Chain A
Amino acid sequence: MTHTLGRPDFDVIAGWVKPGHRVLDLGCGDGTLLKHLIETRGVHGVGVEIDDANILAAIRNGINIVQGNLEKGLDEFADQAFDHVVLSRTLQTVRHTEGILQEMLRVGREAVVSFPNFAYWKNLRSVLDGRMPVSEDLPYEWYDSPNVRFFTLLDFEALCDKMGLIIRERHVLDEQGNRVDSSESRDVNFLGSLAVYRLSRNR
Chain B
Amino acid sequence: MPGQSVGAVQSQRAHFDEPLHLRSGGVLPAYDLVYETYGTLNAAKSNAILVCHALSGHHHVAGHYADQPENVGWWDNIVGPGRPLDTDRFFIVGLNNLGGCHGSTGPSSINPATGKPWGASFPIVAVNDWVHAQARLADRLGIDSWAAVVGGSLGGMQALRWSITFPERVRNAVVIAAAPKLSAQNIAFNDVARQAILTDPDFHGGDYYEHNTRPVRGLRLARMLGHITYLSDDQMGEKFGRELRNSAFSFGFDVEFEVESYLRYQGDKFAGYFDANTYLLMTKALDYFDPSREDNGNLTATLARTRANFLIASFTTDWRFTPARSKEIVSALLANHRNVSYAEIDLNFGHDSFLMEDAHYHGVVDAYLRNIKL
With a cutoff of 8 Å between Cβ atoms, the chain B residues found around residue A81 in the complex are 334-335
- State whether A66 and B330 are in contact (beta carbons under 8 Å apart), knowing that A59-B343, A60-B371, A78-B335 are contacts in the complex: yes
Could you say which of A44, A46, A55 has the most chain B C-beta atoms within 10 Å of its C-beta?
A: A55
Q: Contact between A52 and B360 (Cβ–Cβ < 8 Å)?
A: yes
B367 at the interface (CB under 8 A from A): yes
A22 at the interface (CB under 8 A from B): yes
Enumerate A32-87 residues with CB–CB distance to B below 8 Å: 44, 46, 52, 55-56, 58-60, 62-68, 75-78, 81
Q: Contact between A67 and B334 (Cβ–Cβ < 8 Å)?
A: no
Q: How far is the CA of A63 from the CA of B343 in the complex (A)?
A: 13
B31 at the interface (CB under 8 A from A): no
Q: Contact between B341 and A66 (Cβ–Cβ < 8 Å)?
A: yes
B331 at the interface (CB under 8 A from A): yes
Interface digits, B307-342 against A, CB 8 Å rule (1 contact, 0 not)? 000010000000000000001001100110101111
Q: Contact between A66 and B342 (Cβ–Cβ < 8 Å)?
A: yes
**Closest beta carbon of chain B to A116's beta carbon, Å:** 29
With a cutoff of 8 Å between Cβ atoms, the chain A residues found around residue B311 in the complex are 59
Q: Which of B331, B344, B346, B364 contacts A59 (CB 8 A)?
A: B364
Q: Contact between B330 and A76 (Cβ–Cβ < 8 Å)?
A: yes
Q: How far is the CA of A76 from the CA of B328 in the complex (A)?
A: 7
Q: Which of B331, B344, B371 contacts A67 (CB 8 A)?
A: B344
Q: Contact between B341 and A59 (Cβ–Cβ < 8 Å)?
A: yes
Could you say which of B330, B331, B335, B342 has the most chain A C-beta atoms within 10 Å of its C-beta?
A: B342
Interface digits, B336-371 against A, CB 8 Å rule (1 contact, 0 not)? 010111111110000000000000100110011011
Closest residue to B344 on the A side, CB-wise?
A: A67
Q: How far is the CA of A56 from the CA of B339 in the complex (A)?
A: 16
With a cutoff of 8 Å between Cβ atoms, the chain B residues found around residue A68 in the complex are 342, 344
Q: How far is the CA of A63 from the CA of B311 in the complex (A)?
A: 11
Q: How far is the CA of A46 from the CA of B310 in the complex (A)?
A: 13
Closest residue to A107 on the B side, CB-wise?
A: B334
**Closest beta carbon of chain A to B370's beta carbon, Å:** 8
- State whether A76 and B367 are in contact (beta carbons under 8 Å apart), knowing that A67-B342, A67-B344 are contacts in the complex: no
Q: How many residues of A contact B (CB 8 A)?
A: 21
Q: Contact between B337 and A62 (Cβ–Cβ < 8 Å)?
A: no
Q: How far is the CA of A68 from the CA of B342 in the complex (A)?
A: 9
With a cutoff of 8 Å between Cβ atoms, the chain B residues found around residue A66 in the complex are 330, 334, 340-342
Q: A59-B371, A60-B367 are in contact. List 14 more A-B contacts (CB 8 A).
A: A22-B337, A52-B346, A55-B343, A56-B364, A60-B371, A62-B371, A64-B340, A65-B341, A66-B342, A67-B344, A68-B342, A75-B327, A76-B331, A81-B334
Q: How far is the CA of A79 from the CA of B58 in the complex (A)?
A: 42
Could you say which of A63, A76, A81 has the most chain B C-beta atoms within 10 Å of its C-beta?
A: A76
**Closest beta carbon of chain B to A185's beta carbon, Å:** 38
With a cutoff of 8 Å between Cβ atoms, the chain A residues found around residue B330 in the complex are 66, 76
With a cutoff of 8 Å between Cβ atoms, the chain A residues found around residue B370 in the complex are 60
Which residues of A are in contact with B by a Cβ distance under 8 Å?
22, 44, 46, 52, 55-56, 58-60, 62-68, 75-78, 81
With a cutoff of 8 Å between Cβ atoms, the chain B residues found around residue A76 in the complex are 327, 330-331, 334
Q: Contact between B341 and A64 (Cβ–Cβ < 8 Å)?
A: yes
Q: Contact between A56 and B342 (Cβ–Cβ < 8 Å)?
A: no
**Closest beta carbon of chain B to A96's beta carbon, Å:** 19
Q: Contact between A67 and B335 (Cβ–Cβ < 8 Å)?
A: no
**Closest beta carbon of chain A to B204's beta carbon, Å:** 48
With a cutoff of 8 Å between Cβ atoms, the chain B residues found around residue A62 in the complex are 371
Q: Contact between B360 and A56 (Cβ–Cβ < 8 Å)?
A: yes
Closest residue to A62 on the B side, CB-wise?
A: B371
**Closest beta carbon of chain B to A84's beta carbon, Å:** 15
**Closest beta carbon of chain B to A29's beta carbon, Å:** 15
With a cutoff of 8 Å between Cβ atoms, the chain B residues found around residue A65 in the complex are 341-342
**Closest beta carbon of chain B to A17's beta carbon, Å:** 17
- State whether A77 and B331 are in contact (beta carbons under 8 Å apart), knowing that A52-B346, A67-B342, A67-B344 are contacts in the complex: yes
Q: Contact between A78 and B346 (Cβ–Cβ < 8 Å)?
A: no
Query: What are 30 inter-chain pairs, A to B, with CB distance below 8 A?
Result: A22-B337, A44-B337, A46-B334, A52-B346, A55-B341, A55-B343, A55-B364, A56-B360, A56-B363, A56-B367, A59-B364, A59-B368, A59-B371, A60-B370, A62-B371, A64-B340, A65-B342, A66-B341, A67-B342, A67-B343, A68-B344, A75-B327, A76-B327, A76-B330, A76-B334, A77-B331, A78-B331, A78-B334, A78-B335, A81-B335
Q: How far is the CA of A58 from the CA of B343 in the complex (A)?
A: 11
Q: Which of A22, A56, A64, A75 contacts B331 (CB 8 A)?
A: A75
Could you say which of A59, A75, A81 has the most chain B C-beta atoms within 10 Å of its C-beta?
A: A59
**Closest beta carbon of chain A to B331's beta carbon, Å:** 4
**Closest beta carbon of chain A to B78's beta carbon, Å:** 16
With a cutoff of 8 Å between Cβ atoms, the chain A residues found around residue B368 in the complex are 59
Q: How far is the CA of A58 from the CA of B339 in the complex (A)?
A: 13
Enumerate B215-262 residues with CB–CB distance to A below 8 Å: none
